[in-house]
Amino acid sequence: MRMSRSYLQVLLTFARNSFVRDTMFRTNFVLECVSSVSWTLMNVGFYLIVFHYTPLIGPESGWGKHQFFVFLGTTWLINSLVQTFFMTNADDYSELIRTGNLDFALLKPIDTQFLVSFQKVDWSALSNFFAGLILLAVSLGHLCTRPEHPLVITPWAVALYVVYVLCGVAILYSLMIALASTSIWLGRNQTLYDFWFYITNFARYPMEIYNRGWGVPLWVLFTFVVPVLVVVNVPARILAQPLYPERSLGWPLAAFALAATVASLAASRWVFQRALRSYRSASS
Amino acid sequence: MYRGDFALGTLMRFLPIVTQIFLWWAIFDTIGGAEPGNAAVAGYSFHNVVAYYLLSMVSRAFSSMPGLASGIALQIRNGEVKKYLVQPVDLLGFLLLTRVAHKLAYYSVAALPFALVFFLCQRFFVGPWPDGLQWTCFVLALLLSFLLGFFLEACIGLLGFWFLEVSSLLFVYMLFNFFLSGHMFPLDMVPQPWHAIVDLLPLKYLAYYPAAVLLGKVPRDHLVGGLLSQCVWVVVFIVLARVMFRRGVRRYAGYGG
C-alpha cells in the first residue's frame, strides 16, 4: 500500500514538473497545440470529401459519416493519450540506451520501467484529446437526434467505452515500450517513430475494410499477432453502433480485446526486462 | 554504405498506401464495385486511385525537400550564411546543386524498390498506355516540380532573415502541402467551389499534376498550357527567392551578426 502511494506521488511530481516546463514558453506551447489540432482537422477534411462520394465505408459495415466520425474521434483520444504520456518517454528511452545514461535510471530505487515510461508528460499533445471529445460530442449528437433509429447511449456503454479506450492506450503503450527496448540490441533506433507511424496506420481504419482479397491475412496479423486493430475498433463500435453486434465479431471480439491488453502488457514487460539484462551500458 | 537499410526504408514508405488501398476498396465496394470500368469518384475508378497514389509517390520523390527550409533558417540564425557572403559562391546555387546531387544519389538507390512496387502493382494501371506527348509532359512536369519544390521551400527558409524561428511557419506550409498538393487524395475529388481555388495554387504541381498527366486525367489540349503555368510558378519563386535573399542579406549585414 505504501509502495503504491509513493509511486503515485512520484507520478504526480513528474506530471507537475512537465507542466511547469511546458508552460515556461507559453507562445510555443500554444503554437504546438494549434499545430497538432490542425493536423487532425485536415483528417476531417479528407473524410468529408470521402463521404461526399459514398454513404458508407464498406457495404453493410454501418460506418456512415457520423459513425465514422465517432471512430475518428476515438482514434484521436487514444493517440493523444499515448502521445501525451508515452511518446516522448519512449523516444528518450532509446536515447538513454544509446548514450549510456540509462545507468542512472537503473541506480534509482524505483522500478526502471515505471521510471522511463512516465518521466515526462507532453501536455501540449493533450489538445487533440479535447479535439477528439468535441468531434465525439458533435457526431454522437447527430446520431442521437436522427429521425430513424436514434442512438441511445446507456451509462453502461459509456463505462465500457472508457475501459476500452484505456485498454487501447495500454496496447499501444506496450507496443511502443517493446519497440523502444529493442534499441538495446540494435544500437541506435532511429526508425522508432517511423515504425510506430506505419503500425498505427493500420489501426486508424475500421477493421471491416480488410475483409476483402489479400486483406484477410493482414487482418489476422494485426488482430491476433500485433493487436493494433482492436485498439480503436472495439471502443468506437461500442459507442457508435451498439445495435449491430452481429455485424462484426461483437462480444467475442470485445472479450478478446481485454485478453489482448493483458497479454500485450505482459509481453512488453517481458521484453523490457529481457532487454535490460542484455544492457551493457555505452563505453566512453 | 547502408544501402539495404535504405532500400527497406523506401519500401516501408509504401506501407501507408496499403491501408489507403483497402479504404478505397471498401468505398468502391459500397458504391458499385471495384471493377476498372466503374469510374464513380470524380472520374476515378478504384484502379485509377491506386495508380494515382503510386504515381504521386514518384512526384513526391522529386518535389519533396526534407530539411531545406529549416537548414537555410538555421544557417541564417547561427551566422553560417556569412560564409556565402565572403566566398564567391552563391547560397541558392550551391544548395540547388547539393540537392541535385542528393536526389541523383537517392534515385540510384530508390529506383529498385520503386520498380519492384510498380511491378507488383502493374494490374492497377489500366487503360491505354500513355503516348509520347504524355510521357514528355510527365518527365518535364517532374523536373519542374523539383525546381518548384526547391524554390518554394527556399523562400520559406529565407523568411528566417525576418523571423528567427520559421518552424511553425514551415509546419503550416507542410500542412497545406500535404492536403493541397494531392498527396492525400487526387485533387479532382475536391468539390466545387473549393476545387477552383485548389486549381489556382502552385501546390498541385508538387504531387498531383505529374501523376494526373500520366494517368490521362488532364485533357490533351491542356497539357502544354499546364506545363506553361507550372513554368510561370517556377520563375515566380526563383525571382522571389532571389529578391528575398538580396533584401535579407542587406538587412542581415545592416544589423550585425
Domain ranges for chain B: 3-255
How far does A145 lie from chain B, in Å, by closest CA?
Answer: 25
Q: Which of B31, B168, B172 sits opposite A54 (nearest CB)?
A: B31
Q: Is B109 on the interface with A (CB under 8 A)?
A: no
B19 with A205: Cβ contact below 8 A: yes
Question: Above 50 in pLDDT, residue B143?
Answer: yes
Q: Rounded CA gap, B132 and B127, in Å?
A: 15
- Domain for residue A284, yes or no? no
Residue A61: domain span: 2-277
Q: Rounded CA gap, B247 and B241, in Å?
A: 10
Please tell me which residue, A93 or B140, carries the higher pLDDT value: B140
Q: Is B184 on the interface with A (CB under 8 A)?
A: yes
Q: Rounded CA gap, A149 and A169, in Å?
A: 31
What backbone torsions phi and psi does residue B221 show, to the nearest 5 degrees? -75, -5
Q: Is B12 on the interface with A (CB under 8 A)?
A: yes
Alpha-carbon torsion angle A234, A240, A242, A247, nearest 10: -70
Pairs across A and B, CB distance < 8 A: 78
Q: Is A194 on the interface with B (CB under 8 A)?
A: yes
b/e B187-220 (16+ beta carbons within 10 angstroms → b): bbbbeeeeeeebeeebbbbbbbbbbbbbbebbee
Encode chain A (284 residues) as per-residue pLDDT tens digits. Answer: 567 777 788 778 888 888 787 777 777 778 778 887 888 888 888 888 888 888 888 777 778 888 889 899 999 999 889 888 888 888 778 777 777 777 777 777 777 777 777 777 888 778 889 888 998 889 888 888 777 777 777 788 888 889 889 999 999 989 888 888 877 776 655 666 677 777 788 888 888 888 777 778 888 888 888 888 888 888 888 888 765 555 555 677 788 888 888 998 888 889 888 887 877 776 54
Q: Is B27 on the interface with A (CB under 8 A)?
A: yes
B185 with A46: Cβ contact below 8 A: yes
User: Tell me, what's the pLDDT at B235?
Assistant: 93
Q: Rounded CA gap, B137 and B225, in Å?
A: 11
| Candidates B8, B23, B181, B189, partner chain A, best to mutate (most A CBs within 10 A) | B23
Within its chain, how far is the Cα of B116 from the centroid?
21
Please tell me which residue, B41 or B60, carries the higher pLDDT value: B60
What backbone torsions phi and psi does residue A56 show, to the nearest 5 degrees? -140, 155
B168 with A35: Cβ contact below 8 A: yes
Q: Which of B12, B42, B189 sits opposite A198 (nearest CB)?
A: B12
How far does A210 lie from chain B, in Å, by closest CA?
Answer: 6
Set of chain B residues whose Cβ sits within 8 Å of the Cβ of A46: 179, 184-185
Domain count, chain A: 1
Q: Is B192 on the interface with A (CB under 8 A)?
A: no
| Mean pLDDT to the nearest integer, B38-51 | 81
Of A200, A217, A219, which Cα lies nearest the Cα of A209? A219
Residue-by-residue DSSP string for chain B: --HHHHHHHHHHTTHHHHHHHHHHHHHHHHTT---TT--TBTTB-HHHHHHHHHHHHHHHHHH--TTHHHHHHHHHHTTTTHHHHHSS--HHHHHHHHHHHHHHHHHHHHHHHHHHHHHHTGGG--SSPP-HHHHHHHHHHHHHHHHHHHHHHHHHHHGGGT-S--HHHHHHHHHHHHHHTTSSS-GGGSPTTHHHHHHHSGGGGGTHHHHHHHHT-S-GGGHHHHHHHHHHHHHHHHHHHHHHHHHHHHHHHHH--
Q: Rounded CA gap, A62 and A245, in Å?
A: 11
User: Tell me, what's the pLDDT at A246?
Assistant: 52
The answer to whether ipTM exceeds 0.90 is: no
A39 with B175: Cβ contact below 8 A: yes
User: Tell me, what's the pLDDT at B239?
Assistant: 92
- The nearest alpha carbon in chain B to A51 belongs to B27
User: Tell me, what's the pLDDT at B233?
Assistant: 92
Residue B178 burial class via C-beta count within 10 angstroms: exposed 0-12, middle 13-18, buried 19 and up: middle
Of A137, A118, A4, which Cα lies nearest the Cα of A76? A137
Q: What is the pLDDT of residues A138-156, one digit of tens each?
A: 988 888 877 777 777 778 8
Q: Is B9 on the interface with A (CB under 8 A)?
A: yes
Cell of A179: 519497440
Q: What is the pLDDT of residues B162-208, one digit of tens each?
A: 876 777 788 888 888 888 888 888 888 888 888 888 888 888 888 88
Q: Which of A46, A58, A209 sits opposite B184 (nearest CB)?
A: A46
Residue A278 burial class via C-beta count within 10 angstroms: exposed 0-12, middle 13-18, buried 19 and up: exposed
Q: Which of A50, A198, A204 sits opposite B15 (nearest CB)?
A: A198
| Mean pLDDT to the nearest integer, B239-246 | 89
User: Tell me, what's the pLDDT at B257?
Assistant: 45
Of B223, B195, B220, which Cα lies nearest the Cα of B209? B223
Q: How far is CA B55 from CA A93, B48, B50, in A?
A: 38, 10, 9
B191 with A52: Cβ contact below 8 A: yes
Q: Is A31 on the interface with B (CB under 8 A)?
A: yes
Residues B223, B140 contacting (CB under 8 angstroms): no
Residues B108, B100 contacting (CB under 8 angstroms): no
A58 with B26: Cβ contact below 8 A: yes
Q: Is B199 on the interface with A (CB under 8 A)?
A: no
- Domain for residue A282, yes or no? no
B26 with A42: Cβ contact below 8 A: no
Set of chain A residues whose Cβ sits within 8 Å of the Cβ of B187: none
Q: Is A209 on the interface with B (CB under 8 A)?
A: yes
Q: Rounded CA gap, A42 and B190, in Å?
A: 13
Q: Is B19 on the interface with A (CB under 8 A)?
A: yes
| Candidates A41, A57, A63, A218, partner chain B, best to mutate (most B CBs within 10 A) | A57
Q: Rounded CA gap, B245 and B257, in Å?
A: 16
Question: Above 80 in pLDDT, residue B117?
Answer: yes
Q: Which of B23, B168, B179 sits opposite A205 (nearest CB)?
A: B23
B25 with A209: Cβ contact below 8 A: yes
Greatest alpha-carbon span in chain B: 66
User: Tell me, what's the pLDDT at B237?
Assistant: 92
Q: Which long-range contacts (CB under 8 A, 24 or more apart) does B9-17 make?
A: B9/A191, B9/A194, B10/B109, B10/B110, B10/B113, B10/B114, B11/B113, B11/B116, B11/B117, B12/A194, B12/A198, B13/B57, B14/B54, B14/B57, B14/B113, B14/B117, B15/A198, B15/A201, B16/A198, B16/A201, B17/B50, B17/B53, B17/B54, B17/B57
Q: Is B16 on the interface with A (CB under 8 A)?
A: yes
User: Tell me, what's the pLDDT at B92?
Assistant: 84
Q: What is the mean pLDDT of chain B?
A: 83
